[in-house]
Amino acid sequence: MTQASQISEDQVLKALEGVMDGGKSIVSKGMVQGLQVQDGHVVMAVVVPPSVGAGAEPIRKEAEKVIHALEGVLSATVVLTAESEPGGHAGGGNSGHDHGHGHNHSHGAPAEDAPLLPGAKSIIAVASGKGGVGKSTTAVNLALALKDQGLKVGLLDADVYGPSQPRMLGISGEPQSPNGKTLDPMEGHGIKCMSIGFLVDEETPVVWRGPMVQSALIQMMRDVNWGTLDVLVVDMPPGTGDVQLTMAQQVPLTGAIIVSTPQDIALLDARKGLNMFRQVDVPVLGIIENMSYFACPHCGEHTNIFSHGGAKKEAETVGMEFLGEIPLDIQIRETSDGGNPVVVSDPDGAHAMAYKAIAKRVWEKTEDAIQAKAASEPRILQ
């Protein structure tokens, strides 16, 4: 049905002529940005004024539906993005970088240059040199272990390539926008959560362009009612490319944690992560070795599948703290993939204890980092 036909950008734009906003097409209004068509996968942003914000969700949905209906389209991913100039033209040359415009006049919704996440006392990125090392599993268990300390915790799933936190926290449905401007975060196991996964189907192959990723991230920080939080844990996209670097720059991070497997250490991927955060002056709180060893469920014997202890050595070499190790264990996989991470499903078990010990140290270091940051920043006099 779909294979032979090659869908083009022009065809997509033509179809979008039928999507209206206030009686005019979103194409003629210049609201289509960053349109990209690749092997039947279509990705684009709809630019709306900041004052409209999430209230434009019906337009986003309709655009996605219209594109999906085209022959040759395998997936359609449309995100909403707010720009300071509502009619600002699509595409070329616009980096989507929102900082420093300083001249927008929004009404009601958070201003474009409003501080991101003013209610969060601290923001910690959980990052990895590459995918599949258990970064998301670590992020969710860490977030739950921080909550167990009595902290108010949020989890921002910024892993645009494979958003898995809705599944790991057992959350379904879509976030609501009671005021039509900002979104309420979802909640799972007492943690507020916002994920690109709530806005995009988990099955959709995401062929994100850098600027679009940035807009989506900014939206998740600025247009979501996070309220007050002691700590927001950010599940970063894996890797250390431009997208990750920009994110590390755009999110006002208090610190970062690197998750590695023993083999990842061997390939020096973890070191790239460390260098990336150093480049943008974000303190690395430490490294966690995941899938560190295999604990046999029958006899309890520990087997080192890869060279165990590599993270500890690497940490010593590059001068960052080794925060702890988590074994490769089916219970960790089954519980987090099933929406009941081990920290809540077996709170007194050895794995939960390991995460809690790491979380305790992470919070100590975070509090130090908050103080250090406050001491180095210029005071705002009221």
Closer residue to ligand ADP in complex, CB, 135/365: 135
**Angle at 351 (CA atoms; ends 154, 192), nearest 5 degrees:** 10
Residue nearest to ligand ADP (CB): 134
Strand partners, 332: none
Strand partners, 6: none
Q: How far apart are CA 292 and CA 299, in angstroms?
A: 18
Residue 165 in tokens = 């936190």
Kindly state the smallest distance separating residue 58's Cβ from ligand ADP, in Å. 32
Kindly state the smallest distance separating residue 296's Cβ from ligand ADP, in Å. 13
Contacts to ligand ADP by CB under 6 A = 128, 131-137, 162, 164, 238, 290-291, 326, 328-329, 332-333, 336-337
Kindly state the smallest distance separating residue 290's Cβ from ligand ADP, in Å. 5
Q: Provide the phi-psi class of 44: left if phi over 0, else alpha when psi is between -120 and 50, else beta.
A: beta
Closest by CA to 315, choosing from 359, 355, 257, 358, is 257
Kindly state the smallest distance separating residue 166's Cβ from ligand ADP, in Å. 13
Residues 6+ apart with CB under 8 A from 47: 30, 31, 32, 33, 81, 82, 83, 86, 88, 90
Kindly state the smallest distance separating residue 230's Cβ from ligand ADP, in Å. 23
What's the length of the chain?
Answer: 382
Closer residue to ligand ADP in complex, CB, 82/243: 243
Closer residue to ligand ADP in complex, CB, 36/263: 263
Tokens 């990209």 belong to 36
Closer residue to ligand ADP in complex, CB, 134/339: 134
> Which H helix or E strand runs over 377?
none
Kindly state the smallest distance separating residue 331's Cβ from ligand ADP, in Å. 8
Closer residue to ligand ADP in complex, CB, 259/362: 259
Closer residue to ligand ADP in complex, CB, 337/346: 337
Residue 136 in tokens = 């998301």
Closer residue to ligand ADP in complex, CB, 60/135: 135
Kindly state the smallest distance separating residue 136's Cβ from ligand ADP, in Å. 3
Q: Are 290 and 270 in contact (CB under 8 A)?
A: no
Closer residue to ligand ADP in complex, CB, 162/309: 162
3-class SS string, 159-180 = CCCCCCHHHHCCCCCCCCCCCC
Q: How far apart are CA 138 and CA 330, in angstroms?
A: 14
Q: How far apart are CA 21 and CA 236, in angstroms?
A: 34
Closer residue to ligand ADP in complex, CB, 154/262: 262
Kindly state the smallest distance separating residue 295's Cβ from ligand ADP, in Å. 9
Helices (H), 50-193: 57-68, 135-148, 165-168
Kindly state the smallest distance separating residue 256's Cβ from ligand ADP, in Å. 15
Q: Are 111 and 104 in contact (CB under 8 A)?
A: yes
Closer residue to ligand ADP in complex, CB, 137/215: 137
Kindly state the smallest distance separating residue 207's Cβ from ligand ADP, in Å. 18
Q: How far apart are CA 304 and CA 47, in angstroms?
A: 51
